[in-house]
């Protein structure tokens, strides 16, 4: 395990977390990345890393946008459209790799210098000497990656004329792709590092000031790590928005959504283990973390199980654009709202425009309504869990407080169902009826919370994060 990095007094949590991630990396790789940045090719490196990770997620059936019926009949389903997406992304990866090698980076390591660096490494020695000698520098790994990507693309072309490429072929391509990535020594290292100083460092004084209000160092570092993930998700989504704005082909972005589905699920699990079950976390931050956990899981699942189903087979440009645009908007709003929810749990006066200047006023109002709905939902859920006394008058008082303060922010068509559920609670004659109607109310609030996110997407259009 890599040693903890001792940071100077006053250094912000984002830099600490990034350093702890990077310290485990090879000196060769770190020096190479700095050279790429100096040559102005760092965006190509970020895109290469993103598309490779996305393709790896896309080959995992758990992260494919499929309907329930398709998942139940994978063996008989044609994967021709998904393999077509894979071929597109392989070509994109080749283009990114060529852009990196075209920078003609100087200062390649001599063999003696390479051995010296290897001897200084504080990690376990790599005994795969044949791979080391074949790939002395990261540039050698990129060259090998290019050959592997080209071989995969040619293999796909060879099967193009055969009817109905099947599930087994799709899985076989995925296994081959994973092996080739592992064989590219420095590419494997690149993808194992979660963050990178060159494009993940957050330099926002207001954000750093809010983080420093957390007294417990482990909680502060965990929140910094979670925010780094959320900002990275927004960088992934920027790749999608770029092609939306330029009216470029869009099907290849299914792999980006697969990557987001996987990493959002992982981040939800991280929140549950580090925030929801941690006594050091304040009640306010814990409540915010629970809302973020819920939102990440629900919005990601909505995109994969509803918005993007059948997109790989879509041939009409308009519906394809709409589905990709909606998915992008939903996840962008989810990530931005999650960041603001966490920070405003530390500093209620934090100004959203300090991070996201383009966010419309109506979106900010929608976020407040979503938080009010979540607070009511959580309160009612606590009642069901016996964390609150099952007192009908107290329940009606809490529902009435929401109605007086926030009901007017809901669309008029939602008022009638809210009022009907509130009336049913007021007329409940025993504890069983009360609990039954509370469950119905919680389900209604779940629907509203998701609907608010959907409506926010249509209000923001294609504003950049």
Identify the band that residue 134 occupies on the pLDDT scale cut at 50, 70 and 90: low
Whether residue 24 is predicted with pLDDT greater than 50 in this model: the reply is no
Strands (E), 85-180: none
Look at residue 129 in the predicted model and tell me its pLDDT. 45
Look at residue 222 in the predicted model and tell me its pLDDT. 93
Backbone dihedral region for residue 164 (phi beyond 0: left; psi -120 to 50: alpha; all else: beta): left
**212 closest CA partner among 13, 432, 463:** 13
Residue with tokens 């007294």: 215
Identify the band that residue 5 occupies on the pLDDT scale cut at 50, 70 and 90: very low
Look at residue 204 in the predicted model and tell me its pLDDT. 83
Mean pLDDT of 11-27: 67
Identify the band that residue 133 occupies on the pLDDT scale cut at 50, 70 and 90: very low
Whether residue 461 is predicted with pLDDT greater than 50 in this model: the reply is no
Measured from the Cβ of residue 69, the count of other Cβ atoms closer than 10 Å reads: 9
Identify the band that residue 412 occupies on the pLDDT scale cut at 50, 70 and 90: low
Look at residue 363 in the predicted model and tell me its pLDDT. 63
Identify the band that residue 27 occupies on the pLDDT scale cut at 50, 70 and 90: confident
- What is the overall mean pLDDT for the chain? 82
pTM for this one?
A: 0.78
| Phi/psi at 230 (5° precision) | -65, -40
Give the H/E segment covering residue 94: helix 80-101
- C-alpha distances in angstroms, 432 versus 126, 269, 394? 64, 33, 16
Q: What is the pLDDT of residues 294-329, one digit of tens each?
A: 999 989 998 999 899 989 998 898 899 999 998 998
DSSP H helices in 247-360: 254-271, 283-302, 317-346
Mean pLDDT of 39-61: 95
Measured from the Cβ of residue 248, the count of other Cβ atoms closer than 10 Å reads: 10
Whether residue 123 is predicted with pLDDT greater than 70 in this model: the reply is no
Whether residue 109 is predicted with pLDDT greater than 50 in this model: the reply is no
Whether residue 77 is predicted with pLDDT greater than 80 in this model: the reply is yes
Whether residue 91 is predicted with pLDDT greater than 50 in this model: the reply is yes
Q: What is the pLDDT of residues 417-447, one digit of tens each?
A: 888 888 888 887 778 888 888 888 888 888 8
Q: Return d(Cα 193, Cα 216) in angstroms, integer.
A: 26
**413 closest CA partner among 457, 372, 388, 444:** 444
Identify the band that residue 176 occupies on the pLDDT scale cut at 50, 70 and 90: very high
Q: What is the pLDDT of residues 388-399, one digit of tens each?
A: 566 778 888 888
Look at residue 455 in the predicted model and tell me its pLDDT. 60
Whether residue 87 is predicted with pLDDT greater than 70 in this model: the reply is yes
Whether residue 375 is predicted with pLDDT greater than 70 in this model: the reply is yes
CA angle 406, 411, 416 (to 5 degrees): 85
Identify the band that residue 227 occupies on the pLDDT scale cut at 50, 70 and 90: very high
């Amino acid at each position: 395990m890599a040693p903890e990095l001792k940071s100077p007094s006053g250094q912000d949590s984002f830099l600490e977390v990034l350093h702890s991630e990077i310290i485990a990396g090879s000196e060769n790789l770190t020096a190479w990345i700095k050279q790429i940045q100096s040559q102005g090719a760092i965006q190509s490196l970020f895109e290469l890393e993103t598309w490779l990770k996305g393709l790896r997620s896309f080959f995992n059936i758990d992260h494919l946008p499929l309907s329930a019926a398709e998942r139940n009949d994978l063996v008989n389903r044609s994967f021709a459209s998904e393999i077509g997406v894979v071929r597109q992304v392989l070509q994109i990866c080749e283009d990114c790799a060529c852009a990196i090698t075209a920078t003609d980076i100087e200062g390649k390591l001599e063999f003696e210098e390479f051995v010296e660096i290897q001897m200084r490494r504080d990690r376990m020695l790599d005994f795969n000497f044949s791979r080391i000698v074949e790939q002395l520098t990261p540039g050698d790994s990129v060259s090998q990656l290019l050959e592997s990507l080209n071989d995969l693309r040619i293999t796909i072309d060879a099967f193009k004329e055969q009817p109905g490429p099947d599930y087994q072929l799709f899985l076989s391509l995925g296994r081959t792709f994973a092996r080739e990535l592992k064989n590219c020594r420095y590419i494997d290292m690149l993808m194992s590092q979660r963050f990178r100083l060159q494009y993940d460092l957050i330099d926002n004084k207001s954000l750093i000031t809010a983080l420093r209000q957390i007294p417990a160092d482990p909680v502060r570092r965990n929140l910094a790590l979670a925010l780094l993930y959320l900002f990275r998700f927004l960088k992934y989504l920027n790749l999608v928005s770029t092609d939306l704005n330029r009216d470029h082909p869009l099907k290849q972005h299914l792999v980006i959504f697969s990557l987001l589905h996987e990493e959002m699920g992982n981040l939800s699990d991280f929140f549950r283990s580090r925030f929801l079950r941690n006594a050091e976390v304040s009640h306010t931050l814990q409540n915010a973390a629970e809302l973020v956990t819920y939102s990440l899981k629900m919005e990601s699942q909505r995109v994969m199980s509803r918005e993007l189903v059948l997109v790989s087979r879509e041939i009409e440009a308009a519906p394809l654009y709409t589905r990709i645009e909606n998915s992008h908007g939903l996840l962008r709003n989810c990530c931005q709202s999650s960041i603001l929810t966490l920070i405003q749990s530390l500093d209620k006066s934090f100004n959203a425009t300090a991070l996201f200047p383009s966010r419309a006023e109506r979106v900010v109002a929608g976020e407040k309504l979503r938080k009010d709905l979540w607070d009511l939902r959580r309160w009612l859920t606590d009642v069901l869990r016996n964390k609150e006394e099952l007192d009908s008058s107290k329940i009606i008082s809490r529902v009435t407080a929401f109605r007086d303060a926030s009901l007017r922010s809901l669309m008029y068509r939602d008022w009638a169902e809210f009022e009907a559920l509130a009336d049913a609670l007021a007329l409940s004659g025993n504890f069983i009826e009360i609990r039954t109607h509370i469950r119905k109310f919680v389900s209604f609030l779940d629907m509203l919370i998701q609907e608010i996110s959907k409506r926010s997407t249509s209000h923001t259009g294609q504003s950049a994060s």
